[in-house]
Structure 1
Amino acid sequence: MVIDDIPASLGFRMPAEWHKHARTIMAWPVVEAEWPGPLEEILEAYSDAVKKIAMFEPVTMIARGDLMDQVHDYCGSAVEIMKFINDDSWTRDNGPTFVINNKGEIAGINWIFNAWGGKYPCENDNRVAPAVLKHYNIPRFDAPIVMEGGSIHVDGEGTLLTTEECLLNINRNPHLTREKIEDRVKKYLNIQKIVWLKEGLYGDDTDGHIDNVACFAKPGVIITQVCSDPNAPDYQRSQNNLEILRSTTDAKGRTFEIIEIEQPNPVVYDGLHLTLSYLNFYFVNGGIILPVFGGENSTKDVAAIEKLKEVFPDRKIVAINGLPLTRGGGNIHCLTQQMPEGIPARL
Structure 2
Amino acid sequence: MLTLLGPPPSPGIRHAGRVRPHDACWMLWPQRPDTWRFGAKPAQQAFVEVATAISESETVYVGVNDDQYENALHQLPAHVRVVELSSNDAWMRDVGPTFLTHPDGRLAMVDWEFNAWGGLKGGLYFPWDKDKRIRTKIAEMLGIERFKAPVVLEGGAIHVDGEGTLLTTEECLLNPNRNPGLNRTEMERVLHETLGVDKIIWLPRGCYLDETDGHVDNLCCFVTPGEVVLSWCDDETDPQHAICREALQVLESSTDAKGRKLLVHKLPQPGPLFIEEDEASGIDRLSSSHPRRPGDRMAGSYVNFYIGNSVVVMPLLDPTRDEQARDILQGLFPDRRIVGVPAREILLGGGNIHCITQQQPKRRLP
Query: Aligning the two structures, in what range does the TM-score lie when normalised by the shorter sequence?
Result: over 0.9
1:9 CA drift (Å): 4.0
Distance 1:212 1:36 in 2: 22
Cα distance change of structure 1 residues 258 and 55 upon mapping to structure 2, 3 Å threshold: same
Report the equivalent of 1:140: 146
- 1:275, CA displacement in angstroms? 1.3
Aligned to 1:198: 204
Determine whether 1:123 maps to 2:124.
no
- The answer on 1:151 being equivalent to 2:157 is yes
1:233 is matched with which residue? 239
2:338 to 311, 317, 336: 317
Q: Distance in 2 between matches of 1:198 and 1:150?
A: 15
Alignment of 1:61-210 (within 5 A): 61-118=62-119, 119=123, 120-121=125-126, 122-210=128-216
Instruction: Give the TM-score normalised by the residue count of structure 1.
Output: 0.95
CA–CA distance in 1 between the matches of 2:217 and 2:143?
29
Amino acid at match of 2:326: I
Shift, 1:8, TM fit:
6.2
Shift of 1:323: 0.7
- Separation (CA, whole Å) in 2 of partners of 1:174 and 1:31: 29
Between the aligned partners of 2:216 and 2:152, the Cα distance in structure 1 is 16
State how many pairs are aligned: 342
Aligned counterparts of 2:85 and 2:41: Cα–Cα separation in 1: 22
Pairwise mapping of residues 305-344 of structure 1 onto structure 2 (< 5 A)?
305-343=326-364
Are 1:289 and 2:310 counterparts? no
Amino acid at match of 1:329: G
1: distance between equivalents of 2:357 and 2:87? 14
Q: Answer yes or no: is 1:266 the counterpart of 2:275.
A: no
- How big is the alpha-carbon RMSD for the aligned residues of Structure 1 and Structure 2? 1.4
Q: CA deviation at 1:46?
A: 1.3
Structure 2 CA distance for aligned equivalents of residues 6 and 210 of structure 1: 23
Cα contact 1:33–1:87 (8 A) shared by 2:
no
TM-score for both structures, normalised by structure 2: 0.91
CA distance in 2, matches of 1:253, 1:76: 44
The alpha-carbon deviation at position 54 of structure 1 amounts to 1.1
Tell me if the contact between 2:6 and 2:148 (Cα under 8 Å) persists in the aligned partners: no
Contact 1:50 1:78 in 2 (8 A): no
Distance 1:135 1:261 in 2: 38
**Alpha-carbon separation, structure 1, partners of 2:357 and 2:340:** 16
What percentage of aligned pairs have identical amino acids? 38
CA shift in 2, pair 1:46/1:156, >3 Å: same
1:267-315 per-residue CA deviation (whole Å, 9 max, x = no partner) reads 111323111110000011111000011xxx2231100100111111101
Amino acid in structure 2 at the alignment position of 1:330 = G
Flag the 1:92–1:146 CA change in 2: closer, same or farther, 3 A. same
Quote how far apart the aligned CAs of 1:36 are. 4.0
Contact 1:33–1:88, Cα closer than 8 Å, also in 2: no
Classify the secondary structure of the residue corresponding to 2:109. strand
Equivalent pair of 1:8/1:188 in contact (CA under 8 Å): no
Task: Say whether the 8 Å CA contact 1:8–1:189 is kept in structure 2.
Answer: no
For 2:302, the aligned partner's letter is: Y
Question: Does the CA contact (< 8 Å) of 2:5 and 2:149 recur in 1?
Answer: no
Compared CA separation, residues 246 and 158, structure 1 to 2 (3 A) = same
- With 332-341 and 37-46 compared, the bigger mean Cα shift is at 37-46
Q: Structure 1 residue 92: deviation in Å?
A: 0.3
- Indicate if the aligned counterparts of 1:291 and 1:332 stay in contact, CA closer than 8 A: yes
Which amino acid is the alignment partner of residue 313 of structure 1? P
